[in-house]
Amino acid sequence: MPSLDDYAPVVGRSTIEELRDVVKPLSGRRVVMVNSTRLGGGVAEILQRMVPLLNELGLRVRWDVIEGSEPFFVVTKKFHNALHGKTEAITSEMFDVFLEVGRRNAERMDLDADIVFLHDPQPIALVEQRGRHRESRWIWRCHIDVSRPNQLVWNFLTPFILQFDAAVYSASAFAQQLAMRQLLIAPSIDPLSDKNRELSPEEVAAVLRRLDVPQDRPIITQISRFDYLKDPLGVIEAFRRVRRSVKCRLVLAGGTASDDPEGEEVLSRVREQAKGNPEIHLLLLPPDSHVEINALQRASTVVVQKSLKEGFGLTVSEALWKARPVVASAVGGIPLQVKHGYSGLLVHSVEGAAHAIKQLLHYPEYATRLGENGREHVRHNFLLTRHLREYVLMFLTVGSAQEIFHLA
Amino acid sequence: MVPFRFFTSFTLQEATGLRAATIPQLVALLKKVPEGCLYYHTHYFLLTHHYLTPEPTNDFAYWISEVLKEEALGEQLASLDIMAHATLEGLRETLVSTIEAYLARTPTARMKFASEGEEFFFVKSLHVIMPTRYQASTLAECVDALSQIGIHSLYFHIFEARLRIGHPTNDFALWFEQWGLKELAERVATLDPYGQTLEALRSVLISLVRQELARHEIAHAEP
C-alpha cells in the first residue's frame, strides 16, 4: 500500500506538506467509518485507500461494515433506486426491515469515537445511538444523487439526517434545503492504485488478448456495474448508430456489487441486446479486476459514461486521468468532472452520445486535447490527496457554525 | 524588517439548497445570498481550473452563456472588473444591476429556463486558514518562498485576503508597503490577477521582486 510521500511526484511536494500541516490538530482523534460493503462499488474502493492514509496522518480510523440479511439489501437497493428518482413500490414492511437491521447492528457495533462517519442510507439508523456518545460528532456521507428523491423514502430518512452535525454530498444539485450544515465533497480516484497506475502498452495488449478484445479498430468503452441507471442498453444503441459509419468495437465491462441484487436481471437484458454481434464485448468482471479495467480504459479510443443518474461517476475521472476523451451524460457529478468542450463532451441523449462519439473518432487531435485537459483537471481536483484534505478540513470544523476558521 | 509570514487557506464548499432555473430567479437570490456565495461563485473556479489557458469564466457567466445560452449577458458578467470592487457587497450591487439592466432591455431573456439538474445551485465557501512553514525577511527569501509555496497560499494572499478577509489590497502589496518599498508595492497592488492563471501570477510576482532585488544590488554596488 503506498504511503503519502509516494503521491508527491504526482501532486507536488507542497500538497503533501500542506496536508501534513493541516492535520496536526487532529492527531490521535478516533474516527469510525461505517458503510454497507467492503468490496464492489465506489464507496468501498475509496475507503480501502482512504482509511490507511488517514491513519498514516495520525488519526485513529476504524472501518466497520453493517451486517444485513438478503431482504435488507433488497430493501436498500429499492431505497437507492427510489432516492435516484426511479419508480419503486415502497411498503411499510420495508421500513420495518430497514430499522430492524439498523437496531441489530447498533447492538453489535462499537461506535465509541470522536467522529462517527456513516456512508449512504444503509447504516443511517445508527445515528439513533448518538445519545450514548454525547461528545462525538456525527457525519452522514451521501454518495448518491438525491436531487429528485422519492418523497416517501426521503421523508423517512430526513429525521435521521437531521440528527447529524453535517451531511456531505458529492454535488450541489443533490443538497436539499435542510436546517443543518451540508457540505460538498467530491469523491476521488487513487492515481497509484492498480486501476489507475501507469501501464505499458505491452501490459495493456496482454490484458486485452486475455479478455479476447482485438485492438484492430477503435474501441468505445463503458465501464460500470450492470445497472439500469448506467443505461447499458442506451450505450448499445448509441454504438449501433456510430457503427453505421465507423468501424469500431464496443466494450461493456463491469460487475455487480454484493449489495446490488438487481445486477443479474440487467445483465441478461444486455446479453439479449448484444446477442450475435461479435463487435460488442460484454465482460463480466469480478470486483478485483482493477488492472483489467485500467488496461481497457487505456486501450479505448473513446470512453463513455451514459448514465441516467449518477452519484458521481468516478469512472469518468478514471478515464480522464488516462487522458482518454470522454463522452458522458450531464447528470449527477459528471458535469463537475467534464467541462463541456474543455475536458470532454457532455450529452443528454442516445443520439447526442452517438454524435459526440463520432466527432471524437473523426477528429483525433481534438479528442487528444480534451483528454489532456481532462488529465490536468483530475490532477488538481479529483485525486485522493484533495479528498483526504477535505475530509481533514471537515473533521476540523464539524460542529462549528463559523465560515472562517483560523488554525494556529 | 518584519518578516512576511506566509499563510494558506483551504476551502470547503457548503451547499445552501438554493437554486435558480431562470435569470429573474438568479437575480432575486443574488440579492439575498450570504457574501460567502458571491465569493465562491466569482473566485473558486480560479482554483479548480487554474491550469487552463484561457480559464473558463466565473460561475454566473458560465451558467448564463452555456446553459441558458444568453451569451451577451454572459460576456458582460465574464468581463466584470472584480478588481474595481473593494467589498463583496459592492460586487453584489454590480452583479445585480448588470443583470437587471440587461433584463430591462432584453425581456425575452426572462423566458430562458435551465432544464432539471442544470439549474444554478448556490454554494457558499468556508475557509480554514493556517500558517505555512515559509517566511521571508529579505527580498531574496521572498523570491525563494514565492517559488515554493502551494497554489492555495498564493491564492489566499492575492484573492481571499482582499475580498474575503477584508484587507485593503493583496497581502504582497501590503507587505512591500510595510518594508518601505513603495514602488514595488504599487506595482503589485495594481496587478490584475483575474486575467491570468495562478502559475502565471506566481511568475509575474517573482519577476517583480527579482527586479526590485536587482535594483537594490546595483544601488548598493554604486560608490
Same-domain status, B137 and B118: no
pLDDT value for A8: 96
Please give the pLDDT value at position B45. Answer: 82
Residues B155 and B85 grouped into a single domain: no
Comparing CB atoms, the residue among A178, A185, A342 nearest residue B52 is: A342
The residue out of B109, B124, B139 marking a domain boundary is B124
Using a CB-CB cut-off of 8 Å, the residues of chain B touching A21 are 130, 132-133
Among B103, B124, B145, the domain-final residue is B124
Q: Match 497506475 to its residue by C-alpha cell.
A: A197
Is residue B184 domain-resident?
yes
Together in a domain, B102 and B29? yes
Reported as a single tens digit per residue, the pLDDT across A90-143 is 999 999 999 999 999 999 999 999 999 999 999 999 999 988 877 899 999 998
* Percent over 70 (pLDDT), chain B: 96
Say whether both B144 and B83 belong to one domain. Answer: no
All structural domains of chain A: 4-188+384-397 (3.40.50.2000), 201-381 (3.40.50.2000)
Contact (CB<8Å) B16/A390: no
**Backbone phi and psi for residue A391, each to the nearest 5 degrees, phi listed first:** -65, -40
Pair B216, B150 in one domain: yes
Q: Least CA distance to B18: which residue of chain A?
A: A177
Q: Which of residues 7-26 of A touch B (CB under 8 A)?
A: 12, 14-15, 17-18, 21-22
Q: At B123, phi and psi to the nearest 5?
A: -125, 145
Find chain B residues with C-beta within 8 A of A396's C-beta: 128
Q: Is B32 found in the same domain as B115?
A: yes
Find the CB nearest B10 among A183, A380, A393.
Answer: A393
B144 CB-contact burial (10 Å; exposed 0-12 / middle 13-18 / buried 19+): middle
For the segment A278-300, the average pLDDT, to the nearest whole number, is 94
A380·B52 Cβ contact <8 A: no
Q: Indicate if B210 and B193 belong to the same structural domain.
A: yes
Provide the pLDDT for residue A241.
Answer: 97
Q: Do B49 and A339 touch (CB under 8 A)?
A: yes
User: How many Cα atoms sit within 13 Å of A179 on the Cβ side?
Assistant: 2
Looking at the predicted structure, is the pLDDT value of residue B30 above 80?
A: yes
Residues B32 and B118 in one domain: yes
Range of the domain at B132: 128-221
**A18/B124 touch (CB, cutoff 8 Å), yes or no:** no
Same domain, B61 and B146: no
Structural domain count of chain B: 2
Q: Which of A180-184, A309-313, A322-326, B7-11 has the least mean pLDDT?
A: A309-313
* Contact across the interface for B129 and A405, Cβ inside 8 Å: yes
**Does B154 lie in the same domain as B54?**
no
> A184, B14: Cβ pair inside 8 Å?
yes
Looking at the domain assignment, is residue B194 inside a domain? yes
Average pLDDT over residues A52-76: 94
B67: in domain: yes
Residue A403 contacts B, CB cutoff 8 Å: yes
The band of A244, judged by pLDDT with boundaries at 50, 70 and 90, is very high
Whether residue A261 has pLDDT greater than 80: no
Range with the largest mean pLDDT of B2-6, B81-85, B107-111: B107-111
Q: Which residues on adjacent β-strands are paired with residue B9?
A: B129
Alpha carbon of A41: minimum distance to chain B alpha carbons (Å)? 24
Looking from the CA of A259 toward its CB, the CA atoms found within 13 Å total: 27
Looking at the structure, do residues B97 and B33 belong to the same domain, yes or no?
A: yes
pLDDT tens digits for range A246-257: 999 999 998 765
Residue where a domain terminates, one of B94, B124, B154: B124
Instruction: Give how far B49 is from chain A: nearest CA, Å.
Output: 7
Which residues numbered 340-369 in A keep a CB inside 8 Å of some CB on B?
340, 342
pLDDT greater than 90 at residue B202: yes
Residue B5 inside a domain? The answer is no
Identify whether B7 is part of a domain.
no
Residues B97 and B163 occupy one common structural domain: no
Share of chain B above pLDDT 90, in %: 70
pLDDT at residue A253, rounded to an integer: 95
Model pLDDT, residue A257: 58
Residue B192 has phi, psi (to 5 degrees) of -100, 105
Residue B53 domain-assigned? yes
**Quick one: what percent of chain A has pLDDT higher than 70?**
98
Give the three-class secondary structure for B18: strand
Q: How far is A272 from chain B (nearest CA, A)?
A: 32
Q: Is residue B146 part of a domain?
A: yes
Asked, for residue B8, whether it belongs to a domain, the answer is no
Q: Report the interhelical angle of A232-243 vs A350-362 (nearest 10°).
A: 50
**CB-CB: which of B12, B66, B116 is closest to A340?**
B66
- Rounded to whole angstroms, the Cα distance separating A34 from A46 reads 13
